[in-house]
Structures are given as structure tokens and as C-alpha cells.
Copies of this chain bind each other. A is one copy, B any other.
Amino acid sequence: MNLNQLELLRVLQETDFNLSRAAEKMHVVQSAVSRQLQLLEAELGSSLFERHGKRLLGLTPLGERIIREVDQIHKAKKNIQSMADDFRDNRNGALHVATTHTQAKYLLPMPVKNFREKYPGIKIYMVQSSPDDLIELLHKHEADIAICTEKLAEVDDLILRPCYQWHHVAVVPTGHPLADGKLSLERLAGYPILTYSPGFTGRSAIERAFGEAGVQPDIVLAAADSDVIKTYVRLGLGVGIIAETSYEPGKDADLVALDLSALIAPSTTKIAYLKQLYLPSYCRYFIDELLKQAQANKH
């Protein structure tokens, strides 16, 4: 048994149990992985994959169990590498951040700028994705940290750090009737609503608020980002509901933002990363910068 053979199991799982593609991923010829797999199975004395003829179809029950251990080993190995790189003051690492549009646009810019200055050698990769995907990206080790508001509570192999709390605002063109008088969910629901896609940026809090009030909003546009929403608000499609941070007084002077903190429960944006993985110091620095930025935004 050796690390390459165990790695092969992981790669096979990621390639639909296709030896040829696994070989490609591992930068060896196909016959090599074929032999290594045979050797491993021979050593363990049982087959780890269900087969149809020569083709691999999936894992056997034993294979399932073993691959869980392989994942542990893979994580530990990664940790050893990261720690050594970190200790050596390696300035050639990479930071993979997965987040949603809202955070990428309104929270990350300053932290990223500071990070670039402090760690010019570290490449920053940002993946913008849906909250559903973020957790998966962490688990696949394709992201080091994820920043988002929704969907980050269910899993327990993550460390979750609350970053900042915010509330929603309604945005309407200046002169819109809603801008006067007292706001209520009922009045809001009297207009077509434009807001985030399900699963994005506090959408669940919006739904909960309307649901508990027994009001059925007419959501005519659901977008992944605030800019799209604002664009259509400008076109007069209806009332936008976006995160307060997404309203920019300067650029959005033609829009009015109406505080909804009394009507819709606040949302908390969190930072998440895998509990079992070692976080290099530059990663910790980035998280600290995010928290600092979140503090600054409050004032």
C-alpha cells in the first residue's frame, strides 16, 4: 500500500471509475494505474470496485469504507504540505475563495487589495458560485474558504465564523409612491418584487418574513446579484429587495433605499472552512481582513 495507490482510489471516484481518465489526471499511462489498482486489491485481498466485465462501475461496500479512510489520509497529507510550506514562509501559495456575487462585490475588494499588498506572491483565485455549491467546493478541496449567508449551517465538519450582520433594503426609483409613508410587508407585496434567487443572499429571510405575515409577494425577477436587480428596478419593473451593502449612495443616487430592518429579520454572513484542514497563515490573515472590513462597514 502506498500513497499513490490510495490517491488513485480518490481519483477514480472523481472520474466515474474510468481508469483511462484517472491515469490522465495522475499523469501516468493507463496501464500503470491498471496495475497499481490490481496490486492494491491483491494486497488487501478483496476487490474494492464493482465490475461489469472489465469495466469499473462503482465501489464495493468495503471500497466505500476504505475511501473514507483515504480521505482522512489525503487531508492529513495536505496538511503536512501546507504546514511545511507555511512554516518555510512560502510566498508561492494560492488562496481559493468561493463566494457569491454580493460578497465578492461589496465585502471582498478591500481585503483582497490588502492581501495582495501583504502577500504579493500568493495567487488569489475567486470562484463565484451558488451557496449550494460553496460547501461542495470546500469538500472537494477546490476552495479554501467560503463566504456566504445562506446554507452554511447544516454541515458539522465546517468551522463557521460569523462575519457581519446586515439587513435588507427596498430600492425604488426616486418619486416612487413607496418612498412616502409607513412601510409594511403588505404594502410591499402590492408591487412586483425583484430580489435574489432562492438560496442567495438572505433570500430565505425574505421568504420567512412574508410567510409569517401571511403575505404572498409577487416575485417577478430572481437574480443572483444586486446589480441585475437594480438595473430592472431602474426600468420600472417593480420594487427591489437587496442587501443594504449593495446600495451605493453615490452610484445609486437615482434610487431610494428604504430600510427593511423592522420587517425582515437580519441575515448573518459567515466565513466557512473545513475543520480538519490546516489553514496557512496567509489564509488566516485574509479571514482577519474580512472580519476587519466587516467591522469597518458597520460605521
- Residues on A close to B: CB < 8 A? 1-3, 6, 44-46, 61-62, 65-66, 69-70, 72-73, 75-77, 79-81, 83-85, 87-88, 90, 278
Contact = CB atoms under 8 A, between A and B. Distances in A.
B65 A83 contact: yes
Copy tally for this chain in the complex stands at: 2
B3 A88 contact: no
B69 A84 contact: no
B46 A84 contact: yes
Given A73-B77, A84-B44, A2 B3 contact: yes
A136 to B, nearest CB: 23
Nearest to A62: B87
21 contacts: A1-B77, A1-B81, A2-B2, A3-B3, A6-B80, A44-B88, A45-B88, A45-B90, A46-B84, A62-B87, A65-B83, A66-B84, A69-B76, A69-B77, A69-B79, A69-B80, A69-B83, A70-B76, A72-B73, A72-B75, A72-B76
A77 B45 CA distance: 15
